[in-house]
Amino acid sequence: MKIVVLDGYGLNPGDLSWTDMEQLGDFTVYDRTPIEMVLERGANADVLITNKTVITAQHMEALTTLKYIGVLATGYNVVDIKAAKAKGIVVTNIPAYSTRSVAQMVFAHLLNITQQVGYYARENRNGRWSKNSDFCYWDAPLIELYGKKIGLIGYGNTGQATAAIAIAMGMQVCVYSSKPQFLLPQGIQRMTMDEIFSQCDVVSLHCPLTTDTKELVCESRLKMMKSTAILINTGRGALINEKDLADALNKGVILAAGLDVLSLEPPTDDNPLLTAKNCYITPHIAWATKEARCRLMNIAVDNLKSFIAGKIINNVAK
């Protein structure tokens, strides 16, 4: 069995091992593969493993030996699923591997904004505390999260993990979810989306990107928010209209935003959020703790082992 990993660097820049997958067949791994080289590198492959490299219907038509595509992520929009189904190609994904790491990143952003840790650390490195007349100083807002309302748009795995941390910190948790109130845990309040935007101190996005949710954060919803509100996005960048958010931040419509994702990654230099006031951006790394990547690798291997054994799991092309 010929196995080709098209873009393995994102998962494994060198601190993990491909050994378990390598033992399953004739194995080749590339750090990155431009789309024009997919056919060349995938020639005669039984298995293609991809993270962000797009695999189209035309690729599947040309790669006549292809039987299996393993996506090294939860989302699988990089593969033409309709074409895979038509050709009987199994496509697997990696569900729920980074749930706790993503929830942790929500609060990394939130605590950075509310405590200004990065700002004060930089000030002190530049000698400000050493030169200070008093035992302490502050000139950026310090905000206690206890008692504040956090609204979660989406209440799947990461939404639930985020809610658990918020409850532990004494926050009031509100959710926009398809689940009725009686199916939600005690202490979690179901709200409409507009109620969450208008009433909550923090809004955190945990929903999938669909035609219905694209740019759900837009000028009209941002205007609903409190001027002291904080927006967090560890979901998908296109959930936000980026110009509208940049304008809202620059005009003080809301206090701050913590973002781990943007609509185009890497972003262009002119993305307005890169220079927006009180906008804190990390480079899509919520999923990338070593622990989460180890889980991802293990699930990817199990998916392929199961396929070889004729017991397919995590197939998204049924």
**Catalytic center residues:** 236, 265, 284
Query: What's the sign of the alpha-carbon dihedral 216, 222, 223, 229?
Result: positive
The secondary structure of 202-246 as a DSSP string is EEEE-PPP-TTTTT-B-HHHHHHS-TT-EEEE-S-GGGB-HHHHH
| Contact indicator for 158, 292 with CB cutoff of 8 Å | no
Amino acid at 282: T
Structure tokens at 16: 């993990």
| Contact indicator for 162, 106 with CB cutoff of 8 Å | yes
Calculate the alpha carbon distances from 292 to 30, 104, 309 in Å: 21, 12, 26
